[in-house]
Amino acid sequence: MSQETTAVEQTMLDGKIYDKDPAVDSVKVKERLTTARIALLIRQPFFGNLATRLKIIDATDWCATAATDGKNFYYNENFVNSLNQKQTEFLFGHEILHCVYDHFTRRDDRDAQIYNIAADYCVNGDLIRHNIGEMITQVKPFHDPKYYGWASEAVYDDIFKKYDQEQLEQLGRLLDEHIDWEKGKGQGPAGKTKKSKSGKGKQPSYSKEELKKIRDEMKEAMVSAAQAAGVGNVPKGVARLIKDLTEPKMNWRELLNQQIQSVIKSNYTFMRPSRKAWHTGAVLPGMDFDQTIDIAIALDMSGSIANAEAQDFLSEVKGICDQYDDYKIKVWCFDTEVYNEQDFTPDSGVTIEDYELHGGGGTDFDANWVYMKENDIQPKKLIVFTDGYSWNWGDENYCDTIWVIHSDTSIEAPHGITCHYDAKGEMAA
């Protein structure tokens, strides 16, 4: 990346951008913003409908470029004045997608600077692919076709590996302010927390109840905006979110039960009577199982899934399998490698609930397929319990795969069956 600094960038770094420029016509700046929203409403109804929800607020006193909290669009009039009309539309689109993808709350304990860069890669890629406005050049936006379709968490992992601290500091000139909803703080273009110079303005801060209300209202607005635009006219990632919000909910446990039954329920035979009926004296047919591994379970232990949640998932699998006389389940953990492969049968002397979890590094789904091929393992079903944050999804032609994705309902696997884990049971499939 070029280290050349534009005049606007340098002004930001010097802090002068927080002083209102007397040469800037405040009325015309606000008119430009209003016109940009109308243009989006006409040409890009999804973005336009969401843009019109945002109250436009001059925040030059504390905001170096632009920002949003899901209710308001904050802007620095000096910065907006440097943009043309199409670039202003791009800026609105940028803020809207941060809201849609809920980047405010997804960072968790990740490094703020790196995560904000990752989030910008995601939204800028969507805007460029969908021809929303014109890329802003005054502050170089983060854009790389490599990251098209990636989740922000996967981009984070990739750039975390790629850059050292010095390089990350050079990368840290963001297009917009990234507000920390929990703390009412934001990160400016130089990757540093910005505060009001005069004390007149400040970044927003909300209670947990207020945050929930804003997020719920945004979800409702997304559905309405997508219906107005037609789901085919929104980015693929957004379309998946809309699908999740509008389709009937399915209990992930029911889906898991259904999928396991499809391979455990084999041919019934009197050659192998059911042990559950021995005490009655009756001879009932048992199930005939072949010698292949019926089910393999891969547990993503890259870091975001707690041991308790993985154990809850395994307990559910055990509960399903305990309904039957016989089963063979192979379990392993993975991050960028596979760990602790172990087989479980009714007669193995160990229970799935006692399985010892390993791992904690990055995430590479393909590690599972490499391992299976190297060890001649081809299950009838592979069940992957994961957070879904990876840049590859393995070999779709190797075996049937069920993805049980933890936490992020916006992620849908490109092949196999996807459902979403929740401790309470109900998530969209």
CATH number of the domain residue 371 falls in: 3.40.50
Structural domain harbouring 311:
250-427
Is 392 a member of any domain? yes
Inside any domain, residue 67: yes
Query: Residue 270: which pLDDT band, with cuts at 50, 70 and 90?
Result: very low
Number of domains in the chain: 2
pLDDT digit string (tens) for 43-102?
999 999 999 999 999 999 888 899 998 899 999 999 999 999 999 999 999 999 999 998
Residues 198 and 286 in one domain: no
Q: Of 195, 211, 246, which residue sits at a domain end?
A: 246
Residue 186 included in any domain:
yes
User: What's the rounded mean pLDDT across residues 168-174?
Assistant: 67
Q: How many residues does the chain have?
A: 429
Answer whether residue 65 is part of any domain.
yes
**Are residues 29 and 154 both part of a single domain?**
yes
Using 50, 70 and 90 to split pLDDT, how confident is the model at 241?
Answer: confident
Which is nearest to 91 in space by CA: 146, 32, 26, 11? 32
Say if residue 246's pLDDT is above 50. Answer: yes
171 lies in the same domain as 84: yes
What is the arithmetic mean of pLDDT over 270-296? 51
Kindly state whether residue 208 falls inside one of the protein's structural domains.
yes
Position 173 scores a pLDDT of 62
Number of helices and strands (H, E) in the chain? 14, 15
User: Does the structure show a pLDDT above 70 at 425?
Assistant: no
Say whether pLDDT at 272 is over 70. no
* 1 falls within a domain: no
- For residues 302 and 392, state if they share a domain: yes
Dist. CA 295–CA 339, nearest whole Å: 17
Whole-structure pTM value: 0.62
Ramachandran region of residue 299, left (φ > 0), alpha (ψ -120 to 50) or beta? beta
Last residue of a domain, one of 182, 214, 246: 246
223 and 262 inside one domain: no
Same domain, 109 and 255: no
- 397 and 269 share a domain? yes
The residue from 207, 222, 246 where one domain ends is 246
Cα separation, 337 vs 366, in Å, equals 9
The 10 Å CB-count burial string (b at 16+, else e) for 307-344 is eebbbebbebbbebbeebbbbbbbbbbbbebbbeeeeb
Same domain, 259 and 171: no
- The two three-digit tokens of residue 328, written as one number: 């063979």
- In this structure, the answer to whether residues 237 and 333 fall within a common structural domain is no
What local confidence, expressed as pLDDT, does residue 236 receive? 80
> How far is CA 47 from each of CA 122, 230, 292, rounded to the nearest angstrom?
16, 12, 51
Whether pLDDT at 36 is above 90: yes
Flag whether 360 is in a domain: yes
Residue 292 pLDDT > 50, yes or no? no
Alpha carbons within 13 angstroms on the beta-carbon side of residue 314 total 25
At 10, is the pLDDT very low, low, confident or very high (cuts 50, 70, 90)?
very low
State whether 160 and 264 are in the same domain: no
What confidence tier does 195 reach under pLDDT thresholds 50, 70, 90? very low
pLDDT value of position 289: 44
Percent of the chain whose predicted confidence (pLDDT) is above 90: 29
Both tokens assigned to 185: 């703080």
Task: Mark whether 213 and 329 lie in a shared domain.
Answer: no
User: What pLDDT does 47 receive?
Assistant: 94
Q: Which residue has the higher pLDDT, 163 or 210?
A: 210
Give pLDDT, residue 73: 94
Interval 354-392: pLDDT, tens: 888 887 767 889 999 999 999 999 888 899 998 888 778
pLDDT reading at 311 higher than 70 = yes
Regarding whether 195 and 92 lie in a shared domain, the answer is yes
Assigned domain for 2 exists: no
Of all residues in the chain, the percent with pLDDT exceeding 70 is 77
**What integer pLDDT is reported at residue 114 of this predicted model?**
86
Question: How far is 89 from 132, CA to CA, in rounded Å?
Answer: 7
Q: Does residue 11 have a pLDDT over 80?
A: no
pLDDT of 285 strictly over 80: no
Q: Which residue has the higher pLDDT, 218 or 139?
A: 218
